[in-house]
Structure 1
Amino acid sequence: MFNTVKTDEILDATIWCPNPTVDIDDDSDVSTFGGYTGPPDQTTDITLGRKSDTGTGLQGRSVIWSDGGNTLAYGTMFPPGSSVVSTYYNAYIALIVDIDGGSGAEKVGAFFTTATKDSRSQDISIIILPKNADVTPYERTITASIGDHVTLEVRTSLNTTELKWKLNNVDIPQGNGKDALTINNIRTSDAGIYECYKERNGKHAIMRLIVRGCPTRKYGPECKDDCPVCYNGGICDHVTGLCACPPGFKGVDCSYGCGNNYWGRTCGIVCSKKRGLTCSGTMFCPPDPVGCACIAGFHGDACDEVCNGTKYGAGCSQECHCSSGNCNNEIGCSGGPCSGGYEGNKCLDHVTCDDGKFGEICQYSCHCETSFSCSKTTGYCSSGDCAYGWGGNDCQIALPHLFKTITINDVTATNMTVSYGWTFGEDYGTGPASSYKVLYKSEEESTFTTITTTDDVFTITELLPNRTIEVKVHVCKNIGGQDVCGPDSQVETETTICSIPSKVVGLADISGPDYMVLFWNEVANGNCLVIYNVTYQLIEFDMCDNTSNEVINEGSVQTASYTLSNLSAYSRYRIQVTAVSNDVAGEASDEHTAQTEESGRQTNEYFSFIASILLSSVNMLHRIHLSSHDWRLILNTK
């Protein structure tokens, strides 16, 4: 599911942005950001560009190191008049762009930097927001994990019924008229740049959703390994299991606070060498999955507001749990005593967790079927049963199941082929899929038949014709040597077609001067309705003149008998009958040749009387399956 990445293969790269909000109506307000690489990963192979079209287009090329020192003309992702600076210091190498102040809405949006060294590459994104926006996000970046539920919210003075949403420049109709967009059961395909707007004029909300490729506690190729504890807002990388630290913190577990003037993976870069100055007003974006934040000790859209009270850390997102007076708004608690329920020299560890949470810092949610609580240390559910959609000893593995609709093709009277392959990112949960369970039943049946297969396509056989079949699929993942299946897919239905009706046999007749009563053996076709098409053709008139009149189709007949009327006396006709089910026709009967009687041989009234008797009784006679010979014996006719 993921490529294995070694610890030393992750580049130390950061986006630096000294003005995370700009006034798009002020030509003197320049938008600036840069891609920085720190030791030992300094490289000049850095590019800058626009991540997504947020209303201004996405034309042109990225800018590169060789653009440094130049004022940009047309042809790049940045407006003409923008300038690029390339900087080379011992502590870092950086490529910086100043977006032209007179470019209006092009100064804001989603931007990126990509740094490459040898075979390693790092892509990082940033959102630069407008000042005095009509719609503003509550959070610029949000990090979620597979299986999480996330709500993106905005604040606005506009009528919320006028709001619309986009993801990566694609409309989200279900978000229309809402100031909050909830995404359940997160997939990696939900990641990207979200916009909420009335008009995409640059004064609207732009935010980024980062999705880790594993559930919260897991990392690794199949999301089986447990993450380490990451302190101070650090987040476990889903590929390596390393803690990615927010701005102002470092260490294998992000427990070391660097203060508000140092940044980079090892805090080796300073904002100012002058005493007392800080990184206030600057936003930093380390590699995912951390996302962007103000330096430790500051928050706000412009990163210039100091943390208040017991808040500390990057973006003031953390809470101190030490006694009054010992909370440093940059690095947290510098020592005890700790508040009730917390321990450790920095008061970061929980003595116990509230119900529904577990882990060293109560950072994980329990997923138990019959109770809200789990083991406070392992996540194990006392009942032994995980909540629907979760598996593993700690119930922290998001089981695979289908988001996309299963497809049913090649439907015959007895078979249908079902396609349902699970795809990571597009479908729910984590893989790989070790097997599938295909469940099906007809509408008349109360229980499903289950077939287990490792293939992502399966043909269901031995079905009955003209039956509506319900089909659903479970995707299974091997956990501890056993296949554990995720939730049901959406049920899809398809109806088998009718079998081709058999050939009509036993076609016979009783004739009068101007009519013929036809009858034949009834054709059965399961529960499919059978109708009959009757065709005839005059081939000899008055037994003298050969003719070749057109074939006349009498249309659909629902019984195994029919009377042809208004025929010519003493004439010969060629007749055929075909059985049809659901527009599927069987083989036509053998041609039957019959002759009407001479005019006056019997009165019309007599034959009308006989015909009425025949027609009223023919269905009863067919129920005992009379052959043509039997008909003639009963009627004592030709």
Structure 2
Amino acid sequence: MGTNCDTSCVAGKFGAGCTQRCNCASGTCDPFTGKCGDGCMTSFSGAFCQVPAVCPIGYYGPLCSLKCHCKDDVSCDSHGACSNGQCALGYTVYKNGSCESCRYSSFGADCNETCNCPEVYCHFEKGCYGKCFVGWLEPTCNTELPVYSGRPIIDETNDTSVIVRWRPWDTDFGDRGDGPVIGYVIFYKKSHDRDWSDRIDSTNVSTQFTVKGLASNTEYELSIAAVRPGIGGQGRPGTIVGFKTRCSCPSALDSPIIFTESPKQMIINWSTPSDDNVTCPLTHFNIFYFEVGSDSRRSHVISDVNTTTLTINNMKTYTQYAVEISSSNKDCEGPKSSTKGFTSEEKAAPPIVAIVDSSPINLHIGTNNLGIFGNIKYFNIRYRQDTTGDSNWISDELPPTRDGSAIWIGHHLTQDKLYNFKVSVENGVGSGKWFEFAVTLKDKGKDTQWSSSFLIVGFVLLSISVFVNIACCRRVKLTSRKLNQRMCISQDIQPKSTNEHIYETTLQNTNDSSNIYMTAIFK
């Protein structure tokens, strides 16, 4: 001992620093090893006389070198069994009856608790100190995160979003972990992806959410995780459900083009969308058409998406139609594109002619705005005196008013003469069918037949076939729109040849009983 280690131990001491006591019978021992030369003193044994006959409290074994590890540091017997039968924290009795430290990732009193972490991070007294297994709360790993086992329900999907709902976390329904649950996390990913790529944190306990920003016509997977208070309180995702978003609607088509190749026909032409979504190909075209001003709509579905033309027959002549067209895929119909157009004209039917007065003669000519007359440019009026040898017709042209009518007054015609008249409609096709009639102009003072100032003669001719089929005497009531005066016409039909239809017509003024006679020829 000493500063320079050059001083020998005093009698009865040995070892480093001369701190150990000799238990020899003579009281002295080897200053370096403690070995006795003359045997041990009473109550000690062993090669160096260091083994007491009775071990100190807390130790046991042949050399009294084994620690008892008893609860409250009580003594144990020579085999290590604690006098109170309880081991200290982090110890338990396995096979030999003594208290040993916890094994197999266990810890705590009597090693009854399990470390929820790798064994290397498990302390036999205190448990884990980090690196918790998945599903356990850092750092002690003693709190199990809530595990939601319910199956989410997909309520509604569209092309970019989905509405999902789920029941609340509840251990009575098979959920695990430690509550309380204060929120949920929605995990979702494309089905072919390995890991969850997106998540939405819900900070409340609502059990419904709309997930937005999804790709159209794509398969996804979704799962719900419950969240408890504290940092890292989110549990792992539960049951996975799959769903597929709908196709986005096709884009609007260009406005269709309408044209005709013959009367009563409409040809519709359109083009396919330029930005058609290849993930959702078109399945059909929807075509709607209707007469402008009418509530009656008709439709066609074109299933061949390579077709871009539709021909519709049996349409009304020179009638304005509205056409709407859209395209559809398996999930959605795109917006409609529309246009308007007229069907073709054809040779016009004879116009409606009303004789309003005869001194001078006053003719009201009209069409009732019917499409059979086409786009009226003007009315052709031809007339001549019914005299032998006179074959020269005098022509006149009258532009129509907005309602498709015109008025012609013959101031220059001679009274008491018989005149032949022909009236037709001129449209884009040319001159239509003639309405022919003969009238004797009477002086009002000489003949009571024209005493009424408004004598109306009207024929409404919609088609030649209508008149050809008339074979009996009929009585027709007509109303003059301009004069608002009703007349009665009694017709006796007697065709005189196969090329023309001649009508001997008796006209009766409803204001009196006077009659005139008139011959009308329709060709």
Q: TM-score range by the shorter chain?
A: 0.3 to 0.5
- Higher alpha-carbon Rg: 2
Q: TM-score, normalised by structure 2?
A: 0.40
**Superposition TM-score, scaled by structure 1 size:** 0.34
